[in-house]
Amino acid sequence: MDQDHPRRRRRRRSGEDHISGLPDELLHSILLRLGSARAAARTCALSRRWRRVWAHLPELVFGSGSRDAPPLAPASFARGVGGVARSVDGALAAYAADTTLEGLVIVLPTAACDALDGVPAGRVARWLRFAAGRVAGELILFMPPPTMPPHEPEGVHWAALELPACERARTIALRLRLDWRLRLPPAGSFAALTSLTILFACMDGGELTAHVCTRCPCMRNLRLCLVLVDDHGVSIRSDSLRSLSFVARARWLEVVTPGLEYLCVGEDIGEARVSAPKLAGLVWSCHATYDPHRHRFEDAGRRRLQLLDIGETSAAGLLLRKFEGVEVDQLRLGVSIPLGIEAYKSFSNETSKLPKCQTLNITLLPRNCHGLAPVMLHLLRSCSSTKKVSVQLFDFSGYSSMQCTNPQKVGLQPYKVVFEKVRSMCHPKIEVEFYDFMDGAWVRFD
Give bridge partners of residue 103 from the DSSP assignment: 59, 138
The CA distances from residue 430 to 387, 415, 427, in Å, are 5, 20, 5
Verdict on whether the full-model pTM lies above 0.85: no
Angle at 387 between CA 384 and CA 393, to 5 degrees: 90
Look at residue 86 in the predicted model and tell me its pLDDT: 83
* Alpha-carbon span 375 to 347, nearest angstrom: 9
* Alpha-carbon span 358 to 361, nearest angstrom: 10
Look at residue 59 in the predicted model and tell me its pLDDT: 83
Look at residue 412 in the predicted model and tell me its pLDDT: 40
Tell which residue, 109, 171, 166, has the closest CA to residue 142: 109
* Alpha-carbon span 38 to 86, nearest angstrom: 10
Question: One-letter amino acid identity for 442?
Answer: W
Give bridge partners of residue 334 from the DSSP assignment: 363
Look at residue 72 in the predicted model and tell me its pLDDT: 34
Radius of gyration, CA atoms only, the chain:
28
Confidence check: pLDDT of 73 > 50: no
Look at residue 361 in the predicted model and tell me its pLDDT: 92
Where does the pLDDT of residue 398 fall: very low under 50, low under 70, confident under 90, or very high at 90 and above?
very low
Which of the pair, 206 or 321, is modelled with greater confidence? 206
* Spatial contact of 254 and 237, defined as CB atoms under 8 Å apart: yes
Tell me the percentage of the chain whose pLDDT exceeds 90. Answer: 33
Residue range 125-176, pLDDT digits in tens? 999 999 999 999 999 999 887 765 555 555 556 899 999 999 999 999 999 9
Write out the H or E segment, with its range, that includes residue 358: strand 357-364
* Alpha-carbon span 378 to 383, nearest angstrom: 9
* Spatial contact of 190 and 169, defined as CB atoms under 8 Å apart: yes
Tell which residue, 105, 118, 27, has the closest CA to residue 69: 105
* Spatial contact of 61 and 103, defined as CB atoms under 8 Å apart: yes
Look at residue 311 in the predicted model and tell me its pLDDT: 81
Minimum mean pLDDT range among 28-37, 93-102, 180-189, 249-258: 28-37
Tell which residue, 341, 271, 277, 333, has the closest CA to residue 303: 277
